[in-house]
Amino acid sequence: MVIVPLTLLPIINPLGGAPIFLATAGGRGPFVQRLAKQVAINCFAVLVVSMLVGTYVLEFFGISLPIVRVAGGLLVAATGWRMLSSQDDDGVRSAVAHSQATSFTEADIVRRSFFPITFPLTTGPGSIAASIALGAKLPSSPALYVQGAAVALLGAAITSLIIYVVYRHSASLLLRLGEIGTLVMMRLAAFILLCIGIEIMWTGWTELNRMKP
């Protein structure tokens, strides 16, 4: 249960997406709460489907899990590197999102609760690949699979709840951290994300070498 949020939250990094979420919501208190709830529900659905169905989708297309780990790890590492090396991009994107939010109606922003806030800002390719990898570890026997699926659902619910809390209180969190605190937090999360991506790639590469005849 704990392994799911511990694995996914550094990749999802809701604190890193909080400024863009807040700008998209336009800073309106009641609407921030509504949008945060919808995004959390969307994230829960994406994570659950990835964990429980993702492996079978890969088998249908003939894609092996080590390949997914290498590709997903590459995406995660690339995201972490981009966050580490970014300078003014975050501020520019936030300003653009804020200018767009002022011209959106509430119905428009609700439609955008999935794209781009849920995907790819919150649950992007890296977190989906990690969810598929977690789902591949579920036991094959029916009884144990049901228990493992229940634990996975609970872990996804905890992850989605944390996303909701962070996005719901994004304004106060960013205000308390301040500009320097937010920058330090995002850089630290980016470095951890880079390390996680390399670890996922290394695991997939090792498994591919073991599969060689």
Per-domain boundaries in the chain: 3-207
With tokens 């520019």, the residue in question is 92
Residue 202: what residue type?
A: W
Phi, psi of 95 (to 5 degrees): -65, -40
Q: Which two tokens stand for residue 187?
A: 């850089």
| The two structure tokens encoding residue 108 | 């428009």
pLDDT per residue as tens, the chain (213 positions):
688 998 899 888 898 778 778 766 766 667 888 889 999 999 999 999 999 999 888 888 888 878 877 887 787 788 778 877 876 445 444 544 444 445 556 666 667 788 778 887 789 777 888 898 889 888 888 889 999 999 999 999 999 999 999 999 988 887 787 777 777 777 777 787 788 778 878 888 998 888 866
Judge whether 41 and 123 are in contact, CB under 8 Å.
Answer: no
Do the Cβ atoms of 162 and 14 come closer than 8 Å? yes
Predicted TM-score of the model (pTM): 0.73
Amino acid identity, position 47: L
* Amino acid at the residue 183: L
Question: Exposed/middle/buried for 179, CB within 10 Å: 0-12, 13-18, 19+?
Answer: exposed
Two structure tokens written together for 167: 């996005």
